[in-house]
Amino acid sequence: MVSVVSDFDWDEGNCGKCARHGVSLVEIEALFQGNPQVAPDIRNPHQDERFIAMGRNAEGRPLLVGFTLRIVDGRTLIRPITARYMHAKEIRAYEAQSSQTEK
């Protein structure tokens, strides 16, 4: 994954899709300010390379963001595609992975 990301790529399309699940743009951007777990989205049927970021919002609620990276005017931007709060099974997997990386 690219090590230097300069900003986010927001427009009407992805703002609406992310907000549909009750996740604010502020929460999404804050997730990436922290230390999210990031992995390739292996279930992605699209041609562009997509990733999943998992972490917690400021209130501690587990959050999942699907995103891709875009190069615009020589800058690497995070383009969130969808965002939602994690389901119980995803939370368990996230917490198990977090505990292993902390060791």
Domain ranges of the chain: 7-101
Band (pLDDT 50/70/90 cuts) for residue 102 is low
pTM of the model: 0.86
Whole-angstrom Cα distance, residue 50 to residue 3? Answer: 15
pLDDT at 97: 85
**Helix segments in the chain, DSSP class H:** 12-19, 25-33, 88-101
Whole-angstrom Cα distance, residue 77 to residue 10? Answer: 9
Question: What CA–CA distances, in Å, run from 12 to 25, 41, 74, 80?
Answer: 12, 23, 22, 12
Summarised one tens digit per residue, pLDDT across range 24-68 is 999 999 999 888 999 999 886 767 889 999 999 989 999 999 999
Instruction: Using a pLDDT cut of 90, give the percent of the chain over it.
Output: 59
Give yes or no for a contact between 85 and 62, defined as CB atoms under 8 angstroms apart: yes
